[in-house]
Amino acid sequence: MSLLMAILIGFLYAVSIYLLLRRSIVKLVIGILFLSYATNLMLFFTGGLTETSPAFAEPISTSELATASDPLPQALILTALVIGFGVAAFSMVLIYRFYKESGTVDLDELSEIEKS
């Protein structure tokens, strides 16, 4: 399944970059969301794909643990997810404010406002 996952990751990155390069600030924010999707999936993938065996530590048996999924990438992704949510929420409110102040959602227009 590695190939499928790799294709997915590459695809998500491509979509994210494409969106980040748009002029509309709304697409930019969605691009940020996709960037974190892609990166989280990548991290998850580096931990190895383990089917139906979450990382739980049993008091007694330690033999099973060798086959359990890697907990560290998951812990990292968990942190990233929550931070990503904070960033997404903040940036959404920011574009809302941005539009209220500037009257545009076109970033190129903003550059021109800045220059003049």
Nearest to 108 by CA among 18, 22, 17, 16: 22
Q: Does 64 bind another protein (CB under 8 A)?
A: no
Q: Report the site for another protein in 23-62 (rule: CB under 8 A).
A: 23-24, 26-27, 30, 33-34, 37-38, 40-42, 44-46, 48-59, 62
Closest distance to another protein from the beta carbon of 41 (Å)? 6
Q: Does 4 bind another protein (CB under 8 A)?
A: yes
User: Residue 58 — φ and ψ, nearest 5°?
Assistant: -85, 145
Buried b (16+ CB within 10 A) or exposed e, 2-14: eeeeeebbeebbe
Closest distance to another protein from the beta carbon of 63 (Å)? 12
Say what angle helices 25-46 and 2-20 make with each other, to 10 degrees. 160
How many binding residues for another protein (CB under 8 A)? Answer: 86
Q: Does 97 bind another protein (CB under 8 A)?
A: yes
Q: Does 99 bind another protein (CB under 8 A)?
A: yes
